[in-house]
Structure 1
Amino acid sequence: MAERLDAIFAFALELEKLKGVLRRNKPVGLDRRENTAEHSWQIAMLAMTLAPEAVRPVNVDRVLKMLLVHDIPEIDAGDVMVYDAAQRQAAEALELAGAERIFGLLPDDAGKALFALWHDFSHGNDDDARFARAIDRVMPMLQNLNNGGQSWREHGIRVSQVVAMNQPKVEPVLPGVWARLRAGLDDAIARGDLQP
């Protein structure tokens, strides 16, 4: 029992490092980068509230678990700009190795269960994972739409990139949400927050 608890505690303390992984977005109204732990909490809350809007029913408990574990490998791999395809591809191997290492800190049964959730999210092959992946794309868009396009402007992102990255993940799962976000993109262009 003590050995099992020690392993769980070691995992929990390893997760402290996620608070130091900084993302590209700044929280709305704040002049600092958000950390990945904040992002994971916020999208879990968003998933609970948007679940009724999904085209297909989802298992919210499983979705929440996916959202809470999906970025844990960033402890080792760091955060990658979603619009940088080369960087994203290079990070895949680092994320897999990070997932194996970090979830491997846990007792075997718990580590395998969390790794399976991470794997399912990463591959997006079922309704729960597709919904979770859509939610993961909605929140950064909401942040940019409500903070003057901060990370879009900083990285020279164009509307075509935003649509290409987000529409395929969001619209099939949450069409009403996508329609609202898409209208927001037009407003962002009009304000000068996003390049046409």
Structure 2
Amino acid sequence: MTGYPEGMLTDRNPLPEGLPARLRDQLAFVLEVDRLKTVLRQSPLAAADRRENDAEHSWHLALMVLVLAEHADEPIDVGHTVRLVVVHDLVEIYAGDTPLFGAGGGHGKHERERAAAERLFGLLPGDQARQLRGLWDEFEARETPEARFAKAVDGLQPMLLNWLAEGGTWRTPGVTGDVVRARKAVVGEGSAALWAAARALIDEGERRGWMPPG
């Protein structure tokens, strides 16, 4: 799903008027982000013959942070890093997913996502709107150890799915091993160990003919 839908999901069946205003806004936001389950990514699932959705991706990243935190290059607050990965793709509810290897798909991406962040996080009470928007901005800026590691697992996760799919999106026309290395170098900003593992996947993928070298 891409683009800006008219209205909110709760417009279909408004929440009871008697709810406290703050709780009502919070519940409306929680229901609105159910749309994340409909945003399809390009990555194939490892366990089923279909594409992954954004909600599944975010859950997978949160679990990866818990399991792989010891491989961060700098000490990180694990709970804060989990919050970053849970929030990072919410804007795609309105902005849509931008495929990494899509032709021209990145044009206007940042503008679309900033506008989506304003609209989506603005549904929350002011203090929480600022808090979640701050998490999204932190992830995008990659200026903290937590954000760099969050971005690292975000880069590694689809590579693992591509591995089990015997290439997956690496087989996109025009994609080479060097293209993948360049676009996934962000993994190395947060974890040398995970970047070494990622390069091993790419190298072996080239050897197996899933993408041409160079």
Same fold (TM over 0.5): yes
Once residues 184 and 108 of structure 1 are traced to their aligned partners in structure 2, the CA distance between those partners, rounded to angstroms, is 44
1:182 aligns with 2:195: no
Percent identical? 39
Among candidates 102, 120, 131, match of residue 102 of structure 1? 120
Among candidates 73, 80, 96, match of residue 78 of structure 1? 96
Asked if the contact 1:170/1:178 (under 8 Å) is kept, the reply is: yes
Aligned to 1:48: 66
Aligned to 1:170: 187
SS at match of 1:25: strand
Aligned to 2:87: 69
Task: Point out where structure 1 has 5 or more consecutive residues left out of the alignment.
Answer: none
Once residues 151 and 103 of structure 2 are traced to their aligned partners in structure 1, the CA distance between those partners, rounded to angstroms, is 17
Deviation sequence 1:11-69 (CA, Å, 0-9, x none):
01111100000000011132111100000000110011111111110111111111001
Which stretch shifts more, 76-85 or 38-47?
A: 76-85
Aligned to 1:25: 43
Shift of 1:83: 3.3
Shift of 1:154: 3.5
Once residues 40 and 139 of structure 1 are traced to their aligned partners in structure 2, the CA distance between those partners, rounded to angstroms, is 10
Task: Point out where structure 2 has 5 or more consecutive residues left out of the alignment.
Answer: 1-18
Match for 2:20: what amino acid?
A
Among candidates 101, 105, 121, match of residue 87 of structure 1? 105
Once residues 56 and 174 of structure 2 are traced to their aligned partners in structure 1, the CA distance between those partners, rounded to angstroms, is 25
Distance 1:118 1:85, change over 3 A: farther
1:133 aligns with 2:151: yes
TM-score normalised by L of structure 2: 0.87
Asked if the contact 1:29/1:147 (under 8 Å) is kept, the reply is: no
Match for 1:51: what amino acid?
A
Asked if the contact 1:17/1:75 (under 8 Å) is kept, the reply is: yes
Once residues 161 and 85 of structure 1 are traced to their aligned partners in structure 2, the CA distance between those partners, rounded to angstroms, is 13
Once residues 121 and 190 of structure 2 are traced to their aligned partners in structure 1, the CA distance between those partners, rounded to angstroms, is 29
Asked if the contact 1:58/1:127 (under 8 Å) is kept, the reply is: yes
- After the TM superposition, which segments of 4 or more aligned residues of structure 1 sit over 3 Å from their partners? 83-86
Which protein has the larger Cα radius of gyration, Structure 1 or Structure 2? Answer: 2
Deviation sequence 1:93-148 (CA, Å, 0-9, x none):
11111111111101111111000000010111111111111110010111111211
Once residues 127 and 86 of structure 1 are traced to their aligned partners in structure 2, the CA distance between those partners, rounded to angstroms, is 30
Distance 1:170 1:186, change over 3 A: same
Once residues 190 and 139 of structure 1 are traced to their aligned partners in structure 2, the CA distance between those partners, rounded to angstroms, is 21
Report the RMSD for the aligned CA atoms in angstroms.
Answer: 1.4
1:4 aligns with 2:22: yes
- Higher helix fraction: Structure 1 or Structure 2? 1
Aligned to 1:124: 142
